Amino acid sequence: MIVGKRKDIQEIKDMLPEDMDDLLIVGCGTCVTVSLDGGEREAKSLRDLLTLYYRENGSEVDINADAIKRQCDDEFIDEIENEIEENDVVLSLACGVGVQHLAIRFPEQVILPGLNTTFYGRTSATGEWEEMCHGCGECVLDRFAGVCPVARCSKSLLNGPCGGSEDGKCEVDDDIDCGWELIYERASELDMLDRLLEYEPPKDWTTYRDGGVRSHKNPEFFGSGGE
């Protein structure tokens, strides 16, 4: 799922306009709740912390917190439409998608991001997430024994490890597993090493943002007559 990390509190505080009267903090109840940083609890916690901060600094700001199931679909946003319009500033704890969807829905409102969207990841342990996918638009996992060279190699190499792979770790950081060693081990296990010997030409990046900002339609659902 999409993983995010709440921004540093000073950064959030610095973002908020000085003459702000009311602030609405909106949490999102899906991905960022699962990555434990943008759900209702975090929204309420931020509300109370900022209230404390403004009080200590002699300002009167009215801060409210709410959460909706998702910020990337209109119907959920409908639920809090009034609330949003009643506030000066909206701080969204959703991923970049949710923040922008709100911005599209409320073109005259200041919508600020309270979260840094980081990566597509899996939960590797309670409170820990690892990057798995880049959304490159052309999945090659069948060719690499189920380990993605684009997302899990720090250089996105397609033809094998670089010379910096040491003790199974990446030259960039000791904590990072060498993606290619993961590919190699898994391919050995599955008897797929011959596949790795085949030459991989440079990737076609047109399916990624490199080919232009993306969108797609599913014709089975999109635009039936009468819509």
Partner 1 sequence: MAEYISKLHKLLEEDHFVVCSEMGPPIGADPEFIRDKCEDLKGYVDAVNVTDNQTAIVRMSSISASKIAMEEGLEMIIQATGRDRNRIGIQSDLLGASALGLRNVLCLTGDHQSFGKDEGSKNVFDMDSVSIISAAHDMVHEGELVSGDELRTPPKLYLGGAHNPFAEPFEMHMLKLRKKIKSGMQFIQTQAIYNLEKFDMWMEEMRSQGLHEETHIIAGILPTKSEFALKYMKNDVPGMDVPDELIDRVANADDKEQEGVDITVEIIEHVKQHEGVKGIHLMPVGWEEITPVVVEEADLYPRPEVEVDNE
Partner 2 sequence: MSGSQNQYDVVYIGQPLEDDSLNFTSIEPENLAGCRGEIGDFTLKLKAGGEEAESKLSTASIVINLPYREELPLEEADSLSGDLSHLLEGENEKPLIIIQDYPDLSPAAVSKWGLEAALKARENSEQRDIYYFYKAMRFMEENDELYERARSQEVIFLKHDLGELNIDKDGVEYKREDIELELEGDLVMAPRLSPAQGTEELAKKLNIEQDEKGYLQKNNVYLQPTLSGKRGVYVLSGARGPNALTYQEEEISYTLTELKRNLRGVEEIDDEEREIDDQKCIVCYTCQRVCPHGAVQRDDELNSMTIMDKACQGCNLCISRCPAGAITRSGEEERELSAGTQVIICENSASIARDKAENDPLQGLEVEEVPCVSTVKRENIFSRLAAGESEVLVLGCISEACKHLTGHDRCEQVIEKAKDDMQKLDLDDSRLQYHRLSPRMAQDLSTFLQEWKGEVST
- Which spans of this chain sit near partner 2 (rule: CB under 8 A)? 8-10, 13, 29-30, 33-34, 36-37, 39-42, 44-45, 47-49, 51-53, 55-56, 67, 126
- Strand, helix or coil at 168? coil
- Give the shortest CB-8-to-partner 1 separation in angstroms: 18
Contacted entry of partner 2, partner 1, none for residue 164, CB cut-off 5 to 8 Å set by kind: partner 1
> What pairing do the DSSP bridges indicate for beta strands 115-125 and 110-113?
unpaired
- Give the shortest CB-40-to-partner 2 separation in angstroms: 4
**Using an 8 Å Cβ cutoff, are 25 and 102 in contact?**
no
From CA 176, how far away is CA 76, in angstroms rounded? 38
Task: Return the residue of 156, 186, 207, 208 that touches partner 1, per CB under 8 A.
Answer: 156
Task: Return the residue of 159, 177, 186, 192 that touches partner 1, per CB under 8 A.
Answer: 159
Contacted entry of partner 2, partner 1, none for residue 97, CB cut-off 5 to 8 Å set by kind: none
C-alpha distances (whole Å) from 75 to each of 13, 28, 202 are 30, 13, 42
Closest residue by Cα to residue 113 from 97, 132, 85, 93: 93
C-alpha distances (whole Å) from 103 to each of 7, 21, 61, 130, 131 are 19, 20, 22, 29, 27
Closest residue by Cα to residue 151 from 175, 119, 173: 119
Task: Return the residue of 1, 49, 132, 162 that touches partner 1, per CB under 8 A.
Answer: 162
Residue 193 interacting with partner 1 (CB under 8 A): yes
Residue 116 interacting with partner 1 (CB under 8 A): no
Q: Residue 16 is encoded by which pair of tokens?
A: 């908020």
Task: Return the residue of 20, 49, 157, 192 that touches partner 1, per CB under 8 A.
Answer: 157
Residue 131 interacting with partner 1 (CB under 8 A): no
Contacted entry of partner 2, partner 1, none for residue 165, CB cut-off 5 to 8 Å set by kind: partner 1
Amino acid in position 114: G
- Give the shortest CB-158-to-partner 1 separation in angstroms: 6
